[in-house]
Amino acid sequence: MTSNTMQVSRFKARCLGLLKRVRRTGESLTITLRGKPLAQVVPAAPPPSRCSVAASLRELHRLLEHEKTDLELPPRRNRPGTRSPFPD
- Each residue's pLDDT tens digit, 24-43: 999 999 999 999 999 999 99
What's the burial of 7, exposed, middle or buried (CB within 10 Å: 0-12/13-18/19+)?
A: middle
User: What's the pLDDT score for residue 81?
Assistant: 64
pTM to 2 decimal places: 0.51
Q: Single out the residue of 52, 45, 51, 49 nearest to residue 26, CA to CA.
A: 45
Cα gap 19→39, rounded to integer Å: 13
C-alpha 9/C-alpha 22 separation (Å) is: 18
Domain boundary assignment for the chain: 3-41
Could you tell me which CATH number the domain at 3-41 has? 3.40.1620
The per-residue pLDDT for 79 is: 57
